[in-house]
Structures are given as structure tokens and as C-alpha cells.
Structure 1
Amino acid sequence: MTEIPDYPDPRAHRLREERRILRNLNRIIASSLISEVFEGISGELKKLIDFDRMSITVLTEQKDQFELVALAKDYGLTKFAPQRYPVKEGTVLKRIIDTGRPVFIKETEKSRFLPQAHSGLLKAGIQSGLSCPLKYKGEVIGAINFGSRKANNFSRKHLRLLRRITNQLAVAVENSRLFNKIREEQERYKKLFDYAKEAIFILEAQGGYIIEANHQAVNDLGYSQRELLGASLLELCSSLERATLIQVLQEVLEKETSHTFDSSFLRKDGTFIVFEMTLSVVEYGGKKAIQGIARDVTEKRKREQEKEVIGNISKIIASSLDIRSVYKAISIELNRILDFDRMDIALPDESGEKIELFALAKDYDFTVLREGGYLPREFTAIGVVLDTHKPIIVRDTEEGRFLEDDKLFAEGIRSYLDFPLEYKGYTIGALNFGSKKVNNFSEKQFDLLEQISNHLAVAIENTKLFNKIKEEGAKYERLFENASNPIFILDPSTGQILNINHQAELTFGYAMEELLEMNILKLSLKEEQASMINLIQEALQSGSSKTARSKLTRKDGTCCTVEIHVSESEYGGKRVIQLVMQDITEQEHLEQIRRDLTSMIVHDLKNPLGTLIGTLEVFLEERAGPVNGMQQQLLKTALNSSVNLLNMITDLLDIHKMEEGNLRVEREFVAFPQLIEAAVEQVKFFQQAKAITLKREGTENLPMIFVDPEKITRVLVNLLNNAVKYTPERGQVCITTSVNSAELIVRVQDSGPGIPSEYLDKIFDKFVQFEPRQAGRAASTGLGLAFCKLVIKAHKGKIWAESTPNQGSSFIFTLPFVSQ
């Protein structure tokens, strides 16, 4: 039997070869990064697929750009630059993103994809191509692309092979991207670590030894990088705070939590820096370590301490008005933020020629410049501070520039700083610091000392003011007790009597103990209690004093009339009401007698005076027979004088009625120019007798005014009479009217001698005359202006006077408009 030769099965051989190549591919892909194994991949695939070009494109996370991360080719025309390109519509990659399927290009020239996308391939002779998607967790992340110089070189048989490697290739691409991202993050962290504004330390978990420190740590501590590495952070920490740092390190390691705290660390130059440090557990080189992030808060903590000290000093100062009693406490607080061995306050004496060492604090025994001692102002540093209002630093007392330098040098004080104490723009003294060190003070301390000196200056002035107030208080107590008027101090909320003076006891007949148990209303008549309450409330609400009359009862049951001045005051540090009373019982009795007498005289004069005026008018009208020219002139003079006298009597009666509230004001709408003309007619005789010019201005187009025409005419007559009376012969009187939106304004101006300024407010009071009677000038009763004031007030208007000596006077009044 002939044996059939054992020829190998070509198909089985090809499959075995594919499996071997695939195993190699998987090993290559898993062994390193995609960019480093791409040549191995392309070499193995070349054994299975005929291609001339192979590349891998990777999409960005947004899938709007791609990067050519690897390229293999066997020709030299195509250039590869690692950069990103946009994903455009109509391209092979866009189709793969949209469909997730491979794309065949049988003939590049006839491809339906963008021609410009293939122009480079055509130049390289690429006639056909195959692109397969790289998918990771179902998402297209890129593509593997093949090109051939042969047309129609790729078919679906290649997809079976490529599907078996694209999944692992996608994982390799994603791992490569992740690795690059981690590497970028590490580089970014390294940059952040090295150039962070905060100092960063990496410490060994045991012992706190520094294994890494950034540039800021080197700058803050002043050591070199080599000096810091291997040093223990515990050794750099202040000995007073080392135990706390050890405890924090242990807590952070055990609980693996972060901890923030403040601690002082020694710089290379011997000074200390205050770090606000946050410690936390990190992994470093595969081992557990501690990371410390430290921020320099030296200046911040210094400012906070200064702020605390200033606050404490304010509280100390507020606790007492005796500056000497709190001075030592102030110096202890200041020693927390200032290095000094001696501190004193210097104040000028009353003459200003000497300087008193007002208060002193020091840490040594012997001193020539002791508390209560004096220095001359001249040739001393303190004197210069007082004169220039500027601080002085003496850096070495051995130089002996000022008078006190030798004395301080003998005590061991080598440098000092004198700072002005300013109060409301004045230098009231100096705050002085001394040190046993040369050049211990600098201008950097001025801002702090300015704040302290302001508080201290206020305290000193408050002390002076307190002493002055004590003196004034004692003086007030003497005045209060010895005053000739009764004085009551009341609780403003209840009216309870808190204190009285001796005159209150004498006036009301009660002992002090009895009055202090009473309410002020118990002294008031029942019908006047409401008025008393209102008076006190008005004084409290307005903050100003109020005056009123009231009837009060004495212990014996009799009544007395008092004028009460009510004002707000302070008593025992509390708000109170003070009543100062004036007993006007006798005065009121006399006033009532005068009113009755005046009323009787006026009524008794008015009737015969009316008869006299009527008789004179009969003679002037020649009803009793003819009269010659001289007789007529004499009769006119008698008639005018009689009318003036009647007007005075009428004014007096009307003033009395107005004060009693019994005079009626009968208003009607009238044309104001008519009232002016009526008044001018009444003063015409006296005006013409002195050849005085009487001008009227602004009387045209005036609106109707709602007034009592008879009383306003009398006001005008009184003002014109006064103007004519005080204007010299051939002088001028002017009556001017004007209006604004709310009122009519009337001004009567004369060209007389004027009124002294001290009388401008008084001339509207009854019976006031500001100059003695002069020969040739009519006597004045002092009633006319009082009448004018009451009438204008009844019309809710205002009246006042203006005057310049030797330039005349003006009387102005206003009348408000009322709608018809």
C-alpha cells in the first residue's frame, strides 16, 4: 500500500501563524506605552496584512479634535508632526465616530470623502485604505488606519483579524492617555510644590525629618535646601511649642486627619517665624509620610497681638480715671509687643517752662529721673517733641545730644524713643520708652505708638476733666444748697422727688425727709396736675428748658404762685428733671392790682376823651360858629393829639384782652393797598408837619388778604407813626410790600438813628423804651409795638426788626395767605 505524503494543510498553517502573531501583538501591547510599541505592532501586522502605511489617531474627550499618536510607513514623503487636528464633516474619522463601524476606501481618487483629506495620501501614492474604530467601554476613542499603494487592497477578511486586536489596542491607548495625564499632574504638582507661595514640607512619618522642602520653605527659614533635608522639624520648632508639635504629629498619623495650628520656628538668622501650619498624611515614594503646608503669619499675628494689647489698654484706661493707678498695667501690656526697660509719661506744667515726669514704670531700682520730678523744657528731647509735635529717637545716649541723655546713660539706658501725646490737635505731653540696648527703636513702631498715644492722651485729658468736674461738682453742690430759689430734682419717668435744696424746705414748709418721699404732683393743685405733667414731658422731648406758671400748695394748706423753669439734667450719672422755682405770689398780687388800676383808669379816661374828640370835631366843622385859620390849626393839633391818646388807650385795652384771650379777631378778605392808604391818612398830619416823604413800593397787583382790617390798619398806623417820629425833618419813610407762595411780606423803613442791637428783641415787650425821652419828640408809652406783636401773632404771622446804627430801622411782618 502506497503511503500518501503528509502535506501540511495551508489553511491550518495560516491559522496557527495568525494565532502566534496575535499572541505576540497582545504581549507587545501589554508590555509598554502605545508610542513605544507601535513599531513592534506594525512589524507583526505586516506579516498578516499587506500595507504601506499604518497610523493610530486618538480623539480628544470632546471628540471634536484628534491627534496622530503613531505612524509607520515605508516611504519618505509623508511628514508626521505631533499636533491636534479638527474632526471635519465628510471625513473618514467623522464617519467612524458617527457609525462606530470600519470604513473601506477601495480607490482613493474615487472616494466620496473630502478630496482635501486625501490629497496627502495621493501624493504619497496611497490608492486604497482601511480604518477600524478603537472602542473603549463602547465609546469610539480613535481609529487604526492602513494605506496601500494598490487599489482595492483591503477586504472584509482583514476585519476578523483586526477585531481581535483593536479592543486591546484601545485599552493600550486609554492607558497611555491615562499615564500621560498622571505624568502631567505629577509635573504640575511638582511645579506647584516648588513654586507655591506657602512653605511645603514632606516629613518622615517617624521623627518628623524633612525629606522634601520647596523654595518658599527655604526662603522663609533662611536655610539652604541641603541644610533643610534631613533636619528634624521638631528641632526647628520653638522649645516652648515642641511638645504641642509632637502631639499634633501623633494625632495626624493615628487618625489620618488634617490638623491646623500656629507654631514658631527658628530661622537661620536666630529670629523666629510664626507659621500657620496644616499637617496631613500623604503617600510619598510608596510610603506613608506627612505633608506640612505652612503660611508665614508672623506679621499678621503681630498685628493681632498689637490689636489685642491696644484693646486691653483701652479697657484698662476705661476702668479708672486715676492714670497713675492703671499705668503699671499699661506698661505690662505694652511690654508684650515692645522691647523696653523704662517707660514714662511727661507733661508740661501750667507755666509750660518745666516738664513733669507724671508716671514711671521700669525694671531697675536706681533712677535720677523719678516720678514727680521736673526737667526744664529747653535743651531736652521731650521739650523738642512738645515744640515740634514729632517723635524723636535717640539711638545711643552715650553721644549726649540732649540734657537728659547723660542721666539716662548713667542708669544704663542706651537708647530711647519719645512720642507726642496728641489731643484735639494739641501736644499735651510725651510717652517715652528707654532701652538698655543701643539702637533699639525704629520708625516702624510709630504707627503702633500713635494708636496707643491717642488712647493715653484721652485718658490723661479725662483725668484732668474728671478732677475739674469734681471741683465743679463741689461748686454746684454749694450753689444748689445755698440758692435763693427752691430747686427740685425729679425722676423723669415718675415725678418722684429725688433731691431738694434748703430753700425748697423754707418755701413749702416741709422737712427734706418728707419731700423726698413725695411726688411733685402732690404739691400741685388737682386742676393743674395735667399741666405739670405736660410741662415735664415737653422738656424731655425737646431737650430744651421750658418755663410756665403754676399754683402749688404749702404744708399749711395755703397756695403760692411759682414760675417754674424745667430742664433736663444729670444727677448721680442718671438722667433727671430739674425744677428751679421762683415764688411770684407777691408779684402776681401786685400785677393784678396794676391790671385792675389800669383797667379802671383806661375806662374812666376813654369816655371823657371820646366827648372831647367829638367837641373838637364840632368846632372844626364850624357847626358852633366860624373859626379863623389860626384857631383851625390849633383845633387840628388838639384833635390829632386826642386821637393818638385814644389809640394808646385802645391799644392798652386790646393788649389786656389779648393777654386774657378775650379779644375777637374779625377777619375778612380785603385789598391790602386800601389798608395802607387808610393808615397813611391817619399819620398824614405828623408826616406833613415834618415835611417827610412817604413812599409806597410793590403795592400793585397784590392778592386779597384774609385779615381783621381794623386791627391790621392799627398795626400799620403804629409802625408808620414810629417811623415818622424817629425820622428827621425832610427825611424819608418807605412802606414796601412783596409776596411769596405762602405769605404777604410788609416792610416799614425809616431813615432815623437806628436801634441798638441789644434792644431788637425787647422792643416788642410792653412798656419797653430803648432811649430816654428827648425834647421836641413825642413821648412813647411802649405799647404800640407790643400791640403789633400780639395782632400779628393772632393772624399766625411773624414780626421782627432790623437796624443798622445811624442808617435807619426796618420793621417787617408777614401775613399768611388763606384760600377764598
Structure 2
Amino acid sequence: MTLEHSSNDPSLDMRTTALLRIASVIETAATLDELLLLAQVECVQLLDIPFSGVLFVSEDGMRVRLVNAHPPRVNLPPAILLTEAPLLIEVISERRVVQLADLHATPLVEVGSDAARLLRQLLDQEHLCSLLLLPLIAQDHVIGLIIFATIDQQRHFSERDMALARLMTGQLAAAITSFRTTEQAERRTSELATLNEISAAVTSSLNARDIYHLVMEKLNEYFQVDAGSLLMIDPETHELVFVMTLEAGEEKLFGVRVPQGQGIVGMVAQTQRYAIIHNAQQDPRFYAKVSESVNYVVHTILCVPIIVKARTIGVIELLNKRDGVFTEQEADRLMRMAATIGVALENAHLFQEVTTVRDRFEAILNSTNDGILMADMHGMVVTTNPMAAQLFGCGKESLIGRPISELLAELKARAIAVSSPSWLNEQNGSDQVVEVELSAGRFVRHYTLPVREANGAEIGRLALFQDISKERELAQLREDYTGMLVHDLRAPLTAIMNGIMMVKRGMGGPVSEQQHELLAIAHQGSQAMLEMVNTLLDISKMEQGHMALDVELISPYALVDQPLDRLVASARNHHVALEQHLEADLPLIEADRDKLVRVLQNLLDNAIKFSPTGTTVTLGGAALTVGDEVWNHPHVLPIPLEVPPLRSGTWLIFWVRDQGPGIPVQYHERIFEKFGQVRGRKVRGTGLGLTFCKLAIESHGGKIWLQSAEGAGSIFAFALPVAAHLASQA
């Protein structure tokens, strides 16, 4: 009986008809837009209502946008914030049907943004009056709303109308979700296909401009826009540079720059967030200067940053969408694509950099006059150059993969002579500099260097072979020239000095007191010149390892007397006191007395020259014992002197301490170099004295060093080894 009553209920027939019609629409619709249009046609017929519209809620739930209307409209307003439509918030949040008796009395939208104003204008232009709003719910989620409205007359929607509308919207929501899922899958497939084509182009081409062209061509086609631009950040100026703009397949704007932070692109690059602009000409952030230069009118913009490892490297800008406005979903898709494109572009850029660096490295190797072999950690040659191939008498390819030790052994085997000059090698250095004489007049200097990564880890060894034939020839000329100085200048200087002495003694007649002073000045200048010549000769011989030492047994106490006696007058003239502090029981040493006296004299003379009036210069000495593993001494030195590491044994330490202006740290090494001097010093010399001291001490197997700080005086010290048999007697 209940069934008979139900079968005769007209509302049930209406519902069945509605379900059948909606089902037919779902079966026949090919696209989501077609589904919405056909569904609205059925709905307005069943409800006998003239207007309907479908609004979709954005994924973040912050915006709503009219996506379809019946009767159809070509231009639909952009999305609005839900905060501008409180009535829509009520429908969505409470998931209930709401009807509005008079739209003029209670506006659906509050005019806030331009988008809200456009939507309200559309509603007013349609003369809508009464509204019925229903939520579109699918999978327990409100995906949008549907609006049914009357025109120019009020209507109260009955319970039957609302029930029928809910029945149809429920089916429609399910169908929309199904279409969305299908469309998302198709879009994702198309997106992946576009990215695959871009990636394939990036990996198959080395031309950056070809890559940029293909990227924008595919993006313009995928998003259906009139034009698109790719801008990259200049790492030096941080400006955005147009590297590719495609409009109807034509390239434009290449090289045009946008100042940092300017325009939509500048904002997107800085904030690392996408921007959707629905009316560019009304947006104050729009940088119109660029588009105006090519007479292109921009209406809508979608701009996203290209981010790689949290760093913006550029932006993608799409202009003037052909079939409407840019959506949040399209922005999300372009953001995903930009991330993949960014990695591909960065990899292509890095590959180009590596290729460029490799080509430059090879060009440098091929152009240098030095032979170069680079070996890996196993000692196998991995890189070489033509000069090395010429040196070993074979092709470059035949050197690759051979042990570098084997090649060096072959080179030494066919050499006339092999030497390892001490002046080029550290005493305990593992990599010795070797000079090889391959034939008469042809010399090669070989040394190895570690090859390290940026983090300092060693990854190989670099063997260098310098042709020093010209250097040897010049060295010989220098030795000959130095010999000329000694033999050709010494004799006339000696004659001048002897002549001056004879005149002073009155052999040429009476000499006045004033003449005596002038002759003394001339004799002193000649003596200084002769000492300079001798110093140059000694330095040259010691640098070449040819200086012969006149070794004798020397007492440290007797050694210091001679330089102190010579400089007493100079110290008195400078009003500087000289003090001597030598410890008792110092051991004897075997050394060249003359060389050490000159060393002490140079150090004392420098200390006197640079000491202020009324200060003291101290010459001291002590003995130190260095253990087998860690050097140590059994007592504290009289002064706070930092002694460098020394090999085991007994050492005699001398030092000269002044109270002068001190020497900046940056000059501590340079001051021992030939002609090396400290800038700003008023007292000047030849710059050879300390060079002689260093070479003389090192020729005795000792060490010389400086301990000083600006404004705190200086201590020049040197250590001399004491023979074991002499140390035991001390």
C-alpha cells in the first residue's frame, strides 16, 4: 500500500526525472565545462528558473570564483575573497541551503576588491532578484556552490524546490569530482610530457638560447598564452635579464634588464611566491616600460619564481591567457614545472661552466712552455700537455695511464747530470726540487705539487718540468758580472783607499785638520762600497751553494767582542747603550769566524740605527738542548724568546734585542729577502745585510728568525748547531 502511494507521488516522479536527466548529462558530457552547462540547463528547466551559476572554492578555501553561468557568458569575473561574501561563507561553513528573498536588499557580495566589484556588476546587470544557494559537497568536502536566481521578481523556494535542487547538486558534485580527477590526470600527463620534452632538449643541446626558446615554446603552448618570457638573475648586479621572450613564435627583448625589485617579476623573485595579475594596466607594481618598448599590451600575468636549492635563479612570466584568466591551479602547476625546469637549467649552466673551464684548462696546458703531468692518488698520469710529450719523446696519449714514477726514472736515466740544489729545497721537505741536465746546454727543473679540492683534500699530484736553460745561461752571466765587480771594482777601490791613506799620512805634503775630516769621509765611503761589493759576491756564492766556509774552533765570548768593539763609537754617536748578556759555560762551536762576525755586526748595526735616543741594545747568548722527540731546554732563557723547532742536539742561541719601533708581522719574512725593507722607515740601507745574515747562518746549518711586534721593539736571533763532541765538553 505504501508502494502504491509512493508510485503516485508526483514529487517522486520529478525526482526520478531529475536523476535520469542528470545521469544523461554525466554520460554525454565530454568536458567539465560541458557538464556544468548541460547540468544547469536541466536544473533551470526542472526548477523553472531563468538564471543559474556555478562557483568553485579554491583549494586553500580562501577564494571563490564563478566558473559557469546559464545563460552562458563569455567573460566571467575573477576570483574573489570569501571574506567579501559573508553569505557564501555561511553556505560553505554550515553546508546548508540558503535562500535570499531580495538581492537588492541583501547584497550577495560586498564591494571591496576589483574582482568583487566585477562580480556584483554582473549580478546587477542580470537584474537578479531572489536567490537559492546550495553547497556542492563531494567526499565530505565543499568544492563549490550553485546559485539559482529569479529575474526582476521575487520568489519563495518551496521545500520541494530545495529538495529537488539538493538531489541534483549532489549528483552534480560527484560528477564534477570525477571530471576533475580525470582532468587532473590528463593535465599531469600533459605536464610531464612537456617537462620530458624540455629535459630532453636541455640534455641534448649545449646552446643556451636554443634551450630557452624550447622552454618558453612548450610553456606557451601548454598554458595557451599569447606570450611568455624567461628572465634569469645576473649574479653580479642582481638584475633580472630577459633571456627569452616568445610572442607568436618570435623572439624579443633579449638582453633587456629589469632593475632589482622592480615590477611584478622583481617582486616574485624577491618573495619567491607566484603572482596572478588579472588587470596589469591597473596594477601599480606593473613595470610597463618593457612592454611599451615593443608595443605589446599586457592584460593578465602569471609569474612564478625559478628556485633551486632555496635560491631564486630567475622567473617565468606568462602573458595574456587566451581562454580566460589565470587560476590558482595553473599557478601551482607552473610552480611545479618551474622547479623541474630550474634544476634542468642549473644543470645545463653547470655543465657549460665545466665545459668552459675544461676548455680553458686545456688551452692553458697547451700554451704553457712548461711540461705538465697530473697524476691521480695512485700515481697514474691522467692529464698531460704537448710540452711534456715533447720532453719524454712520445705522444700525449701514450703518457696517459703510465705511472709518474716510471716516467721520472726514465728521464733521470737519460740525463747527463741530476742535482738537487739546497737553496731550492727545505731540509725536511718531502718534495725535492730536482734539476736535470739532458744535453749540453739544456737544463730542466722538476718539482711536484699537491692537487687539492676546495675542502683541502688532496686528490692527486702535479709534476712540473721547467726549461731553465735560459735561466742557467743568465745565472752564468750574473756570476761573470759579479766576478767583474769583484775583480774590476775591488782594485780601483783599493787604490783609492790606499791613496787616501797616504795623503792623510802627509806623503803628499802637509794636511790641514779640515782636509783630514774630508779624507776620512772619502775613506769611509770607499770602505762601505767595498763591503757592499763583497756582500754581493758572498750572497751570490751562497745562493748557488759555492761559498766555502773557513771553519775553525771559536769561543762564543771571543766571537762577540769584535763586533761590539767596532760599533761602540756608532752607538755613542746615536746615544744608545750597548749591553752584553752571555751565559756562563757556553760551548765552543766550529764555524767561519769572519762570516759570524759580519752577521753579528749587521744585526747590531741595524739595532743601533733604529733605536731611539737613550735606549739600550742587548747582545745575548745561551745554550739549548733539544730532545729526540720534543725540543726542550733545561732552563728558561733570560728573555721571552720563542725558539722555532730544532733537530735534536745542542744549539748555541745568539740574539740582538732593541727597543725600537718594532716591525709589523707582514714584513717578518720579506725583511730577509734580497733588497727587502720595511716601508716607512726613515733610515735606509741596501737591503742586503739581513739577506747575508740568513744565508750565512743557513750555510752553517742554523736558523735565523725575527720576533717583533709594531711598537714593541725587535729581537733578531739565530741558532747554530754545536758538534756532539764539543757539546759533551761544555
What TM-score results when the alignment is normalised by the length of structure 1?
0.40
What TM-score results when the alignment is normalised by the length of structure 2?
0.44
Q: Which has the larger Rg?
A: 1
Higher-RCO chain (CA-CA 8 Å, sequence separation at least 6): 2
